[in-house]
Every structure is written in C-alpha cells, then in structure tokens.
Amino acid sequence: MRQLIVRRLLQTVPLLFFVSVVCFFMIKLAPGDPVLSFVTPNMHAEDIERVRHNLGLDKPAYIQYFIWLKELLQGNFGYSLTNHQPVLDQILERLPATAGLMGSAIALAVLLAIPLGLLAGANRNRWVDKLINFISYIGISVPLFWLAILMIYLFAIKLHWLPSMGMRTIGVESTADVIKHGVLPCTVLAFGFLTSYVRYIRSSTIGQLKEEYVQIQYAFGASKTTVLFRHVMKHVLLPVITLLGMSMGDLVAGAIVTETVFSWPGIGSLGMTAVRGMDYPVIMGITLFSSLMLIIGNLAADILYSFVDPRIKLTR
C-alpha cells in the first residue's frame, strides 16, 4: 500500500519537472522582452542592462530555468507585469471563488449523475434511457457559453430571478447573495460535467449488469433494486473517483469561459485578463498551478481508489 503511494509519487516528479520545463520555455519564447516592463523612459541603456543582470536574464537559458525553478519551489511564481503583484498571491486570492464555484458544480453534477446514470443503465434502451441519453448527447455538444447566454437571457433579463454578473451585489456582504450569484454559473458548469459523468456511469452500469455475479444475485432472490443499489452502485462509484481526479485540472482552467461570461472573479477570469494584457508571468503561474492541480488530482484519485477498491491492495 505504502509502496504504491511512494511509487506513484515518484512517477509524478519527472512529470512535474517536464511540465515546468515546458512552461518555462514557453515564457522564454513569448514575444516581448520582460525587462521592458521594469524600464522607465528616462533609463539609460546601461541601466537597462543592469536591470537585466539583476534579474538574471543575461545568463544562459538553462541557468535561468534553475533559478526560476528554485524560486518556484520557494513559492515564488514571479510578478505580474501589469500590477507587479506576486503571481501566487493573486492566484490564491482568486482561488476561493473558483474552488467554490467548481466544487459546488462538480458536487451537483455527481449527485445528479449517479442516480441518472444508474437509472439509464438499468433501463437500457427503454424510454428513460433514451431520454437521458439524448440529453447527455446535447450536453456534450452544446457550447457552454451559449447555454450561459441563454440562461442569462431567460433568468436574469426576462424573469429577473437571478443576477447574471459577478459574485456579490456591491455593498452587500452575505452568503445568500453569493449563492444567488452562483446559481447560474454553477448550473451551467454542472451541466457540462453532468453529461460526461452520466455517460460514464451509464456505460459502467450496463457493463456491470452483464457480469456473472449480477445474474447470480438474481438466482439468490435479489430484486433489481437490491442488485442495482447494493452491488452495482459500489462498482460504479469507484470510477467516479477517477473522474473527480481528472476534474481537478478543470478546477482552474475549465472555468475560463464560464467565469468570463458571468464575470465571476475567479482564476479563470484572472487568466483571461492576463491573456488580454499579455501578462506572461500570470498566465504561466496559472498554467503551472492548474497542471499541478491536475497531476495532484490524478494522484489523489489513484491513491484514494486503492483505499476503496479491495482488489488493488493485494495485487500491487
């Protein structure tokens, strides 16, 4: 058990290393000289060189990389080119908004997907299944930003039920207000996750129901409901852990479009602002941060999986 965790952790290290290399050289390749953001109009050429030297930018790229990496390991993701704030601080400041939105969207999606997926899988090719299947087809094919626009039109503009922009009403400091603002973006995101989860759960339910042990449960007098909820559900829930792990990467990046449409002040809209302003350190910080989340998410899912699935303990 411990061996498994250690081995998975060790596998993660080179992956992280390569991701950081890719990120670093993408910054290097980016157009524009980062020194220029420190330059004021009345500086001389020597001054500019001195700044360059002080920043370590005159050294060979690989040395720069290691300096950058060393800083990175100490939590220094660099400074924004536009407001000169530490990148990590900005990300962490925005994290709660994104994590809250994503967390509730994923939770909502999972809670709905499990019964829907089981229902569809258990009633394969009946009308319930066909309906759920059709909705999930729509779900994987609909542009989420379009869905967002339509929902804004319906619920904010026509019905005036919900706010369409931001996270708070100015001057109001209440959780209820934040929740109210979160309903639309959360629903849109949840729909996006939901459909892929449902498809996954449906097909694994169908697969499990074909297993011999299920047939045998019937031979021992189990009802369909018993089989579905006592036997199949546990099997089906296991892969959901993996799905959740994979969703961790989306936690940061996947919300870009939705956060933009709803002006949600999270990491996604920070990223958009950075991209618009060509603020490379921020973009890189976010990229690195989300890759980290993705890798950690997968790792955590693997480890959690091995705790939950009895078969893995001994076979590895």
| Residue matched to tokens 């924004």 | 80
Question: Is 34 exposed, middle or buried (CB count within 10 Å of its CB: 0-12, 13-18, 19+)?
Answer: middle
Pick from 162, 235, 239, 265: which binds another protein (CB under 8 A)? 235
Cβ of residue 249: shortest distance to another protein, in angstroms?
5
Does 253 bind another protein (CB under 8 A)? Our answer is: yes
Burial 70-95 (b: 16+ CB within 10 A, else e): eebeeeebbbbbeeeebbbebbeebb
Q: How far is the CB of 314 from another protein (least distance, A)?
A: 7
Please, which residue, 182 or 297, has the CB nearer to another protein? 297
Say how many C-beta atoms besides its own lie within 10 A of residue 132's C-beta. Answer: 20
Query: Which range, of 45-53, 55-63, 75-83, 216-224, touches another protein by CB under 8 A?
Result: 216-224
The minimum distance between CB 274 and another protein, in angstroms, equals: 9
Other C-beta atoms lying within 10 Å of the C-beta of residue 174:
10
What is the rounded CA–CA span in Å between residue 305 and residue 152? Answer: 39
Per-residue interface string for the shown chain with another protein, residues 26-65, x marking contact by CB under 8 A: x--xxx----------------------------------
Window 265-284: residues binding another protein (CB under 8 A)? 271-272, 275, 278, 283
User: Judged by CB under 8 A, does residue 243 bind another protein?
Assistant: no
| Interacting residues of 166 by C-beta distance below 8 A, sequence separation 6+ | 181, 262, 263, 264, 265
Nearest approach in angstroms of CB 113 to another protein is: 18
How near is the Cβ of 167 to another protein at its closest, in Å? 19
Q: Which of 143, 174, 307, 316 binds another protein (CB under 8 A)?
A: 143
Q: Work out whether 260 is an interface residue with another protein (CB under 8 A).
A: yes
Positions 61 through 120 that interact with another protein (CB under 8 A): none
How far from 156 is each of 49, 153, 160, 224, 258, CA to CA, in Å? 54, 6, 5, 43, 16
Footprint of another protein (CB under 8 A) = 14-15, 18-19, 22-23, 26, 29-31, 125, 137-138, 140-143, 145-146, 149-150, 152-153, 157, 211-213, 215-223, 226, 230-231, 234-235, 238, 249-250, 252-254, 256-257, 260-261, 271-272, 275, 278, 283, 286-287, 290-291, 294-295, 298, 309-311, 314-315
